Amino acid sequence: MKISIIQPDTVWENKSRNFENLAVLISPLYNKTDIVILPEMFNTGFSMDPEHFNESPGAETFIWLKEVARKGNFGICGSYMVNEKSRFYNRLVFVTPENEFWYYDKRHLFSMGDEDKFFSAGKSRLVFTYRDIRISPYICYDLRFPVWSRNRNEYDLAIYVTNWPESRAEVWKTLLQARAIENQCYVAGSNRIGTDGNGIKYRGDSLIISPRGEIITSAETNEECSISADLSFPELYDFRKKFPVFDDADNFTIKL
């Protein structure tokens, strides 16, 4: 399976501009990859204004994702603001060219940025299968909570879509590598570049990481781009057989 990450300079609270810019970055990947991964809140930036920028579940951004997936013949995912049953969610949506879709609502809301004051937290993890690969997606701050993404041989690829600030760039790399090692899975972390409407700077550093914690490929710092990698799942399964850490894992459940 080939996966690709788009690393854009997201325009603050301007959906049409972001759709146009992303289309330019994505179009070279048409029929050349299996999955395209966008950052967190890819259509607005990390805005705390869901009153003005929320959408119903099947509205503008969902329609845009469906059309891009159809044209490109790949699955595509990223998060944006959704209003469902009078609650706002930072929701990751994964759409396929066959019009299947799955969604995950961000569990860990970034209280230091007041996200918890405007959005509701998700209640469940998501694991789904696409093109025979088991995938579990997460959003930004979730990366700091390893129990939430703990793998019991349930998934093979973890996706983290983020707006991760430049000031914590080293933390970003370290945590992504840790999640790959401890969960014996491939990890893809998408991030943006540029400066948002609150003056927060982002440098990108989008990464694709092996189950051994090795960086397979990384995006250039402060550069709009895409990166891609071919992932070998037979190699992953063989690695798990030879080094079966799941057999010795502790059993526990998360109480929500």
Q: Hey, which residues are catalytic here?
A: 40, 106, 140
Q: Looking at the DSSP assignment, which residues form a beta bridge with residue 80?
A: 91
Cα R_g (the chain), whole angstroms: 17
DSSP assignment of 157-196 equals EEEEE----GGGHHHHHHHHHHHHHHHTSEEEEE--EEE-
User: Burial letters for 219-232: b for 16+ Cβ neighbours within 10 Å, e otherwise?
Assistant: beeeebebbbbebe
- Burial (CB count within 10 angstroms: exposed 0-12, middle 13-18, buried 19+), residue 136: buried
CA distance 4 to 204: 14
CA torsion 188-158-167-197 (nearest 10°) is 90
